Amino acid sequence: MPQLLEQARLEPRDSAFAQELAFSTIRWTQTYDSIIDKVSSRPVKDIETTLLNAIRLGAHQLLQMRVPAHAAINETVNLIRQVCGEKVVGFANGVLRRISEKDFNSWLELVSRDEKSNTAMLSLRNSHPEWIVRALQQSLKSDGIEGSIEELLEANNKPAHVTLVALPGLSKRDDYVADGGFPTNFSPYGFSIESGNPGDLEEVRRGSVRVQDEGSQLPALALVEAKPVTKNEQWLDMCAGPGGKAALLAALAEQSGAHLVANEVQEHRAKLVANALAPFSDVEKTVLDGRSFGDSHPNHFDRILLDAPCTGLGALRRRPEARWRKSAEDLKQLVELQYELLESAYKALKPGGQLLYVTCSPHLSETTAVITKAVKNLGVQVQDLTSVMNEKFMQGTLPTNRKTVQLYTHRDGTDCMFMALITK
């Protein structure tokens, strides 16, 4: 999308309109398809894809944007005429006019009336696949807050403010707060902006400021603050792509006198890591399979960040397409990979060192289940990260009934990051 917007050379207002239209239509696809199904003379599954996408765009303008109905219908019909031909214009016009007869909440009541289960109703009303709704419910239940499931689903459907990190040693957050930015609640280096393109900031182009959710800033901070840093420590970011956490870790390493190794197995992502780390001289970049890293570097690192590949269910508000790209079937392979990486990272960790296992997902299979298996099979020691985070960053807001940390978008205002601190 950023590339398309740049090519189109849109004015800021039109650019914001295009992003809202695209991202939110993707978010609400399931709900809009149910509405279209109600008013269409043919099932959604039989509507040609380009035509269906155009109708979805029209539905979003009619139901959730401040676009007058006649303008939304007219512009959508003109688009359909251009990309699909005259033959389907009458059909599309009829569907859009029927959609315009009710407001969004009335349609939600109508399409969810026949759902048999609460999970199915939540899925349809909030446009999340049922397997994701169940996974989020189970995660919330493990923390005793299952009653807030609808709040979490609603938070996933609200576009987040752009959050950035001012890399310590290269820039200062206070400069951006003084210029109209808003400091993040927990990260001392984070700030957000309500509008505008962060790419327009000179500091972003230079690399001293990065776009990064507060939830993604906290793992690097947690790893460094878990215990005092001693001179010449060896640090590893095992799965560093695309380089956001690695850049913050590199800035902190430079200030602490530590040496950072940033590893990424995929060549194209390794190039992104190299670009992200360009401002830092003392960072070693490797392109290796993390699963064998422990065998080649046994008992070598004082601190290891393992930001494991995952379903990404914790960042649905920022990546609306992720809910449709992932499936429950993806979990088995991902969980196996996560455990193999954790096993390798544990081998690479010095006795007494600190290993932070991180996923941008609250799915229990990717979080506590992986750690429980590691405790059983590897004898890892799980430290009380909750106490560290409450004292250093979270101002006592985390529940104290667990050692690992699970952030939630609706409660903490961050992506749903999971963190577990391990030593041996």
**Residues 107, 237 within the same domain:** no
Task: State yes or no: cis peptide before 242, omega within 30 of 0.
Answer: yes
Helix ranges (DSSP H) in 262-421 = 267-276, 293-296, 322-325, 330-348, 368-378, 385-392, 409-412
- Rounded CA separation 341/337 (Å): 6
**Residues 236, 104 within the same domain:** no
Q: What band does 285 get if pLDDT is binned at 50, 70 and 90?
A: very high
**Residues 106, 239 within the same domain:** no
Least confident of 68-82, 94-108, 193-207, 230-244: 193-207
Asked whether the beta carbons of 242 and 272 are under 8 A apart, the reply is yes
* Residue 106 token pair: 């009335």
pLDDT score of 195 more than 80: no
**Residues 394, 280 within the same domain:** yes
* 134 located within any domain: no
* 220 located within any domain: yes
Tell me the CATH number at 306.
Answer: 3.40.50.150
**Residues 102, 242 within the same domain:** no
Give the pLDDT confidence of 355-371 residue by residue, as tens digits.
999 999 999 999 999 99
pLDDT score of 39 more than 80: yes
Asked whether the beta carbons of 355 and 349 are under 8 A apart, the reply is yes
* Average pLDDT along the chain: 96
**Residues 97, 240 within the same domain:** no
Give the pLDDT confidence of 102-114 residue by residue, as tens digits.
999 999 999 999 8
**Residues 228, 104 within the same domain:** no
What separation in angstroms does the CA of 299 have from each of 205, 353, 422?
Answer: 38, 9, 14
**Residues 91, 223 within the same domain:** no
DSSP state of 145: -
**Residues 79, 217 within the same domain:** no
**Residues 102, 217 within the same domain:** no
* 386 located within any domain: yes
* 175 located within any domain: no
Last residue of a domain, one of 114, 130, 151: 114
- Rounded CA separation 357/382 (Å): 10
User: Can you give the C-alpha Rg of the chain in angstroms?
Assistant: 23
Number of domains into which the chain is organized? 2
* 203 located within any domain: no
Look at residue 116 in the predicted model and tell me its pLDDT. 86
Last residue of a domain, one of 60, 89, 114: 114
pTM of the complete model = 0.95
**Residues 100, 227 within the same domain:** no
* 177 located within any domain: no
- Domain extent at residue 293: 213-423
Last residue of a domain, one of 61, 89, 114: 114
Catalytic one among 84, 310, 360, 416? Answer: 360
Give the pLDDT confidence of 82-131 residue by residue, as tens digits.
999 999 999 999 999 999 999 999 999 999 998 889 999 999 999 999 99
* Residue 307 token pair: 């930001």
Q: Torsions phi, psi of 349, nearest 5?
A: -85, 135
* 162 located within any domain: no
What separation in angstroms does the CA of 160 have from each of 156, 212, 319, 403?
Answer: 9, 12, 10, 28
Whether 310 is catalytic is no
Tell me the CATH number at 48.
Answer: 1.10.940.10
Average pLDDT over residues 415-419: 98
pLDDT score of 78 more than 90: yes
If one counts every other C-beta atom within 10 angstroms of the C-beta of residue 63, the result is: 23
**Residues 110, 239 within the same domain:** no
* 283 located within any domain: yes
